[in-house]
Amino acid sequence: MSRDKRLVVVTPKFFDDATISFLEDHGCSVVLAKLPDGKADAAATEEELVSVLADADAWIVGHANVTLSLLQALPRLKVIARRGVGYERVDVDAAQKTGKVVTIAAGGNEESVADRTLGLMLATAHRFRESQQQLIDGPGSILIGHDLYGKTVGLVGLGRIAQHVVRRLRAFETTILVSTPRPTCTYGKAMNIEYVDLDVLLQRSDFVSLHAPLTPATNHLIDATGLARMKNSAFLINTARGGLVDDRALLASLKEGRIAGAGLDVFESESELGLAWVTNELVRLPNVIATPHSGASTHEGLQRTNLVAANCVVAVLGGEQPPAGCLVASSAYSVS
């Protein structure tokens, strides 16, 4: 490979040809990393990552853990571009210390995750899983579900994805409650939403949908106490981050019928491997619809996030500011 081109190493799977062409047209060489045993980058060891990234100028990353020791072993690396919007697996302080730029793919996956959120609401309320099982097992009684239409939906958080959810919910003539640390009156009036505190939201909502980032302050935001505040006819939807919910408490609530069901795309066991048994039990419950953190994984969503990440790489390697909303860490730019 000619070193007059910048080397971009891509470790997540499903990277499309159009985005590769975009990078090549902007003076980059692209390598789609092949990790041992077909691993996803989240499962790669630091040694394996160093091996594939040793000559990289830029790294487009999926869910790998980005640590200080890893970054120190990659002096050539200039930019870590997350294909996604969460960056809790990236040591931002380490990136600052080692002079790296960290970006996210803001604006790439909101539509896909918003679709998944509504899909989980409908699937849990209409009891899709249980109804299909009735057909598999043989003739049985028709199961009676619930409408989303006309219900009260509580959104915890009001970021980009939640705002797309709000627009979709308006078609169902729902009452929308929002709990957020930064309510915006103008947006609230325009979208006909009501800002309330979390306790009120849990008590009033027929559907509770989580859209908050995972931080020390939001870990177990929904715990046994919060679940006890929900209606026993309510559904919990989580397409954000697993740690927002105490999954052990959720399992107990579902088993004991204290809430009606859950639609889950994320689980605590993604970061706490010792809780895999909880996930295994949750996904086997008849009133749970579960998907494997794949809400953003549509053909269209991945193409969008690939291209946003690529735009971040091209901008940083060219000495320019990354696209709006994408910059997470840098000593060279101001982070908004």
Give yes or no: 293 in active site: yes
Quickly list H helices, 110-262.
110-125, 128-137, 160-170, 185-191, 198-204, 224-229, 247-255
Contact by Cβ (8 Å): 207, 237: yes
Place of tokens 């080397």: 7
Catalytic residue among 129, 229, 258, 293: 293
Give yes or no: 220 in active site: no
* d(C-alpha 240, C-alpha 222), whole Å: 12
Helix (H, G, I), strand (E, B) or coil at 5: coil
DSSP string, 20-75: HHHHHHTTEEEEE---GGG--GGG--HHHHHHHHTT-SEEEESS--B-HHHHHT-T
Catalytic residue among 82, 83, 270, 304: 270
Catalytic residue among 89, 241, 268, 304: 241
Nearest to 154 by CA among 131, 180, 129: 180
Supply the Cα-derived Rg of the chain in whole angstroms.
21
Give yes or no: 241 in active site: yes
Catalytic amino acids? 241, 270, 293
